């Protein structure tokens, strides 16, 4: 793990790093000392580790929860090179969208392709970040919407260190098997008027999660219109499960 830069503002210290050539960012309270819970945030499709929604959420998790937050550029996203195969998958997805097709299966293909690489990267990042004094081997949470959910479901299923996950804005396509292996508590967000994910598909993904403790939050609005108060609700959800 190689730290590249460190800046602080509004009570939050931001450190950029790379880990085995994966670019990442770690946010901690400016006056941090000693161990604290860690949230891994997975960004959406076409976004990156410092997308505005990630930064805004991370700042609240740090300042209001006292948590550490880490985000990585997903494979083929942000500062990372794009492979030919990914470029082809995205081109097919876009062509399907333009043609007005139901692209759920194509989206699932893309997520599956990315998850194969992203899940072990996130596991390595957890290990590296938990070795830092100001994080430590405490509770771990995961937060990811849309593509961040498509990668987050297999990650949460595979990684026993994840004690609670906030997921959502995605349907069941391609995720049934992984969802049936998720046993950590989940708070699942669904946009009631989602223009990309059919309501029934989102409800089906929530239904498929094997977690005994799971809670669905549905709000009016389109895919990108999750209300601000859900960040506060996610904070409370993590705090409740971190004990």
Smaller CB distance to its own copies: residue 78 or 139? 139
| Beta-ladder partners of 219 | 191
Q: For residue 110, what is the DSSP state?
A: H
Nearer to its own copies, 83 or 236 (CB): 236
Out of 11, 127, 160, 229, point to the residue binding its own copies (CB under 8 A).
Answer: 229
Among the candidate windows 41-49, 144-152, 162-170, 228-236, which touches its own copies by CB under 8 A? Answer: 228-236
Smallest gap from residue 40 Cβ to its own copies (A):
23
In order of 19, 52, 75, the CA distances from 81 in angstroms are 15, 21, 8
Which is nearer to its own copies, 75 or 139 (by Cβ)? 139
Question: Counting contacts by CB under 8 A, is residue 218 touching its own copies?
Answer: yes
Binding mask 166-205 for its own copies (x = CB under 8 A): --------------------------x----------x--
Q: Which is nearer to its own copies, 128 or 208 (CB)?
A: 208
Identify whether the C-beta of residue 149 lies closer than 8 Å to the C-beta of residue 208: no
Q: What angle do CA 207, 208, 209 make, to 5 degrees?
A: 95
Closest CB to its own copies among residues 114, 184: 184
Q: Does residue 206 interact with its own copies by CB under 8 A?
A: yes
Burial zone of 90 (CB within 10 Å; 0-12 exposed, 13-18 middle, 19+ buried): middle
Classify strands 68-72 and 22-29 as parallel, antiparallel or unpaired: antiparallel
Say whether residue 222 binds its own copies (CB under 8 A). no
Nearest approach, Cβ of residue 219 and its own copies (Å):
5
Using N-to-C axis directions, what is the helix angle for 104-130 and 84-98, rounded to 10°? 140
213 part of the interface to its own copies, by CB under 8 A: yes
Residue 219, burial from CB neighbour count under 10 angstroms (0-12, 13-18, 19+): middle
Six-digit token string for 54: 């990630």
Among 60, 138, 219, 223, binds its own copies (CB under 8 A): 219
Q: Report in angstroms the alpha-carbon separations of 49 from 26, 168, 184.
A: 10, 18, 24
List contacts with its own copies (CB under 8 A).
192, 203, 206-207, 212-220, 227, 229, 232-233, 236, 240
């Amino acid at each position: 793990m190689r730290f590249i830069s460190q800046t602080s503002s509004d009570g939050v210290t931001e450190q950029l790093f790379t880990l085995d050539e994966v670019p990442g960012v770690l946010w901690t309270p400016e006056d941090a000392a000693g161990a604290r819970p860690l949230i891994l945030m997975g960004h959406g499709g076409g976004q990156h580790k410092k997308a505005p929604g990630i930064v805004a959420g991370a700042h609240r998790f740090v300042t209001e929860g006292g948590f550490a937050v880490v985000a990585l550029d997903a494979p083929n996203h942000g500062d990372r090179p794009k492979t030919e195969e990914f470029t082809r998958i995205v081109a097919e997805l876009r062509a399907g969208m333009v043609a007005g097709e139901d692209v759920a299966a194509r989206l699932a293909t893309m997520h599956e392709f990315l998850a194969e690489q992203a899940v072990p990267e996130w596991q390595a990042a957890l290990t590296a970040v938990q070795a830092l004094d100001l994080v430590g081997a405490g509770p771990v949470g995961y937060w990811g919407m849309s593509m961040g959910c498509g990668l987050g479901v297999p990650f949460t299923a595979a990684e026993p260190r994840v004690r609670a996950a906030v997921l959502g804005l995605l349907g069941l396509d391609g995720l049934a098997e992984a969802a049936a292996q998720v046993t950590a508590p989940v708070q699942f967000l669904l946009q009631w008027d989602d223009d990309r994910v059919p309501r029934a598909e989102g409800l089906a993904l929530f239904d498929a999660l094997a977690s005994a403790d799971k809670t669905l939050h549905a709000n009016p609005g389109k895919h990108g219109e999750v209300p601000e108060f859900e960040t506060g609700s996610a904070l409370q959800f993590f705090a409740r499960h971190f004990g």
